A = this chain, B = another copy of it.
């Protein structure tokens, strides 16, 4: 069976190619997806909606993993999640925590990041960041 680390690596690859069907197949039915500044998103169907909303906004997705540390069923990584939107790149440093069950499915996905860094850049790429008068 694939190691927990292999499952997380494959999961990230599905996100990079915006293959939401394949991504969701790697999640347990009761998965908890926790962006720490926000409420947890629980269950495969809800996570599918969330993935769609942020993946489909981007023309390209690259998650650059700089470190992975794994122990038993847990995987922790440091990443820069990059999204190309309107021809500009949004880049978000993230520390991610994953737990993988005995069926090789992700049961927990918890990301630590600065929400303000995300929202500011999103406003910039959407062209709402620097409106000039006159």
Contact = CB atoms under 8 A, between A and B. Distances in A.
Which applies to chain A's interface (DSSP): helix, strand, loop or mixed?
Answer: strand
28 contacts: A36-B93, A36-B113, A36-B114, A37-B114, A37-B116, A37-B117, A67-B76, A69-B69, A69-B70, A69-B71, A69-B76, A70-B71, A71-B71, A76-B95, A78-B110, A78-B112, A93-B112, A94-B112, A95-B95, A95-B97, A95-B112, A112-B113, A112-B114, A113-B114, A114-B114, A114-B115, A114-B116, A115-B116
Interface of A: 36-37, 67, 69-71, 74, 76, 78, 93-95, 97, 110, 112-117
Nearest to A71: B69
Copies in the complex: 2
A69 B67 CA distance: 12
A56 to B, nearest CB: 24
